[in-house]
A and B are shown apart, each in its own frame.
Chain A
Amino acid sequence: MFAVEVNNLSFSYGPKTILSNLSVRVDTGDFFGIIGPNGAGKTTLLKLIAGLLKVTQGDVKIFNESINAIKMDKRARWMSYVPQENYFYFDFSVIDVVLFGRHPYLKEMERPKKSDIDKAIEALKFTDALMLKDRNIMELSSGERQRVVLARALASEPKILLLDEPTSYLDITHQIDIARILKKMNRDGITIVLLSHDINLTSMVCTRLLLLSEGKMVVCDKPEKVIKTEVINNVYKITPHIILHPETKKPQLLLPE
């Protein structure tokens, strides 16, 4: 069974077409990357999969159920969504923020139980953020905050994790941190759909890549089949050098002069 199935999906904001006639399948257990230039429709696609935008043309299925028909609570238990900008209006403690991930499991007015707190702590351990437990979210660095946000997503025990540019504000040390955590989650059976501008990073972590351009699919395949000079040149209008990573043998892109 596919974790995510997108069939003939089109979407527009008013007269502006964002996605046209897109069909993609994400296998259960995949580490699926979405890349493409600015304005290609990546974030819109991710939000449609997340159920945050209403599907009007075509269809998005999550584990064979149409996204519009899935109850909100069930959807929230199946999928965790991590946006690019993680913003907090009030200065909650880290453990409180991670406990927000338990929201879909709690009844109206119910306080988090011992088991919920245990799950939150487990999630913090997983993302190597347990020592931040009692700190306040607003005093954390970007790298620390991103680990907390991932713990929040993990606390919902999702089957699918949707991420919008999780490494965009991070230095290389923290980028690798996050990539390792995501790979570990993927090994534990969580299907990951990750959207990124960082082609080299997606090449290293993703099992498959979708390259979008102007709302259409250019190619959807293994990184070796996507990160090729002529494909990149077609979409990004630059001629990069593609080399193989000496350890992983994954294609890596060097920018031209």
Chain B
Amino acid sequence: MRKTQSWFVLLILLVIAVILSFGLGPTGFSLSDLRIPLEVRLPRIILGIFAGGILGLVGASLQGLLQNPLVDPYTLGIASGASLGAVIGYLFGRVGVLTVPVFSFIGALTTMFLVYNLARVRGKITKISLVLAGVILSFLFSGIVMLLMVLTRKPLTEIIYLLMGRLNIVFTNESLISFIIIFILSIPVMIYLFSKWRSLNVLSMSDEVAESLGVETQKLTRNIFVASSFLIALTVSFTGAISFIGLCVPHIIRLIYGPDHYKVLPFSFLLGASLLIFTDLIARSIAPIELPLSVITALFGVPFFIYLLKKKL
């Protein structure tokens, strides 16, 4: 009974987010002319559900796997690799709708392999080595991004949006097809993460006990790392690194619904999707120019998160 109720609340929240985001905007909404809602706002909504959901899901999976409340989808360095790829693509690539996403994706996947190999000590991956390798590479890549930005002296505004997140995707035939391919590719990977809910629960009792109960912890760690990195690589390539959603959504869900990953994983997807759509709506409504999404998630998300923590304590 309680479970159906909770699904319902999150679902209603998502529906409200979608309706508001579809209807609101500088040009308003009228049934006689649906061009702007359909061509401009709908793609943002679809991308928002996709990216926000993945941020929530991956954040929840990684916090469960690494048992670290500060872990978010970017801790493992994937986003900084994607950012570096995006900046290289933007500065040196041939101009095209897909240049930045493709470079970004290559950067993210390269980082994934680097982090994985750095984290492997005597053939074994540990939680702490994964986090350390990710954080170290993040610093390196952020440094290189800054260096490139300074050296090439191009206007920085566009790069800031690349780095700080945006949903203003323009669907040409080219990008629409690649988005559909990405969408299809990511579904089995997301299902894999959802399917690991019980292993993640058991893992909360330490690796040893989990292993004595039949969970292959090394394999699980590797697979969740690769699946998470892959999903984040896909989203960051299109949206840039949107901060905070992947960190705080799993915490909010756990505060409300408890730690069972059977609920935490799908509910984090739903809440992540709603929050990102709201964020985008705010980002394009409150200022004369559209704001980078990470600015909004930080300005609105942090106080809300503090409120939740205090209320719980």
The answer to whether the Cβ of B216 comes within 8 Å of any Cβ in the partner chain is yes
Q: Which interface class (under 10, 10 to 19, 20 to 34, 35 or more) fits A?
A: 20 to 34
Q: Which residues 246-269 in B have Cβ within 8 Å of A in the complex?
A: 254, 258-260, 262
Partner of B215, one of A80, A85, A103: A103
Q: Which interface class (under 10, 10 to 19, 20 to 34, 35 or more) fits B?
A: 20 to 34
Taking CB atoms, residues of chain A closer than 8 Å to B203 are: 89
Q: Compute how far the CA of A83 lies from the CA of B209 in the bound complex, rounded to whole angstroms.
A: 7
Q: Chain B nearest CB: distance from A75 CB in Å?
A: 7
Which of B165-173, B194-202, B272-280 interfaces with chain A?
A: B194-202
Which of A104-112, A192-200, A201-209, A245-253 interfaces with chain B?
A: A104-112
Q: Chain B nearest CB: distance from A218 CB in Å?
A: 27
Chain B contact residues: helix, strand, loop or mixed: helix
The answer to whether the Cβ of B208 comes within 8 Å of any Cβ in the partner chain is yes
Partner of B214, one of A83, A92, A103, A110: A103
B209 lies within 8 A of A92 (CB): no
B254 lies within 8 A of A72 (CB): no
Task: Assess A92 versus B204: contact at CB under 8 Å? Given A80-B212, A104-B214.
Answer: yes
Task: Assess A76 versus B213: contact at CB under 8 Å? Given A81-B208, A89-B67, A109-B195.
Answer: yes
A88 lies within 8 A of B212 (CB): no
B202 lies within 8 A of A72 (CB): no
Q: Which residues 134-170 in A have Cβ within 8 Å of B in the complex?
A: 156
The answer to whether the Cβ of A79 comes within 8 Å of any Cβ in the partner chain is yes
A72 to B, closest residue via Cβ: B214
Partner of B213, one of A89, A104, A110: A104
Q: Chain B nearest CB: distance from A46 CB in Å?
A: 11
B212 lies within 8 A of A108 (CB): no
The answer to whether the Cβ of A4 comes within 8 Å of any Cβ in the partner chain is no
Q: Chain A nearest CB: distance from B139 CB in Å?
A: 27
Q: Compute how far the CA of A104 lies from the CA of B215 in the bound complex, rounded to whole angstroms.
A: 9
Taking CB atoms, residues of chain B closer than 8 Å to A110 are: 198
Q: Which residues 79-122 in A have Cβ within 8 Å of B in the complex?
A: 79-81, 83, 85-93, 96-97, 100-101, 103-104, 106, 108-111
A72 lies within 8 A of B259 (CB): no
The answer to whether the Cβ of A50 comes within 8 Å of any Cβ in the partner chain is yes
Taking CB atoms, residues of chain A closer than 8 Å to B213 are: 76, 100-101, 103-104, 156
Beyond contacts A88-B205, A90-B201, A103-B198: 5 other A-B pairs, Cβ-Cβ < 8 A, are A92-B260, A93-B258, A97-B205, A100-B213, A104-B213
